[in-house]
Amino acid sequence: MAEAERFDAFYRDTSRRLVRYAYGLTGDVAEAQDLVQEAYARAWQRWRRLTGYDNAEAWLRIVITRLATDRWRHLKVRRVRAAADRPPPPVPPPSEDTVLLVTAMRGLPAAHRRALVLHYLLDRSVADIAAETGAAQGTVKSWLSRGRAELAAALGQPLARTTRGGAGDVE
C-alpha cells in the first residue's frame, strides 16, 4: 500500500475521534476542526517516522493538546483582533445545556479537562490516559474525580457516582 493510501486510511479511522477530542478541549467545533486539520498536516510531514510509533493517534492527540494550549495562550490577542473586524454573520445559538457544559469545562484545569475528554468522549481507560499523559494511574483517577466534582459543582448538580461514560453521538 502506498504511503498516501496508508495515511488516508489512518485519517479515515481516526479523524472523527480526534475532532471529538479537540471539541472536548475547546468547546468550539470550528476551532476543533482547525486543530485537527493542523495536527494532520504535521502528521503528514512526519508520516514515515510516525508509522513507526506504537500509537500514532496518541501522538496526534498530544499535538492537538499542545496546539489548543497555544491557542488559549494567544486568545487575548485574537479577541483584540476580532473586536476590530466586522462581526461574523449570525448563527443559531447552541442549546442551553451545551452552553452550560462548555462553560463549566472551560473553567476546569487543563489536566482535569483533558482527562475527562479522553475518558468520557474517547472511552479511554485510566491506564491508557496515564500512559498517554505520563502521569500515574492514581493521578489520572484524581483528575477524573476532581473534574467530575468540579463539573457537578459548576452545573449545580449532585455528583453522580459513575466510573465510565460513553462518547454517544458527540462529534
Domain 1-91, CATH among 1.10.1740, 3.40.50, 1.20.1260, 2.60.40:
1.10.1740
**Pairwise CA distance, residues 136 & 35, whole Å:** 27
How many angstroms separate the CA atoms of 106 and 51, rounded? 33
According to DSSP, residue 168 is labeled T
| 129 and 118 Cβ atoms separated by less than 8 Å | yes
Which is nearest to 105 in space by CA: 114, 93, 96?
114
Distance CA 134, CA 162 (A): 24
Quick one: pLDDT band at residue 119, thresholds 50, 70, 90? very high
CA distance 108 to 122: 18
**What residues does each domain of the chain span?**
1-91, 93-171
Separation of alpha carbons 91 and 49, rounded Å: 41
Q: What is the average pLDDT value for the chain, to the nearest integer?
A: 85
CATH hierarchy code of domain 93-171? 1.10.10.10
Average pLDDT over residues 146-165: 73
pLDDT reading at 87 higher than 90: no
Give 165's pLDDT tier (boundaries 50, 70, 90): very low
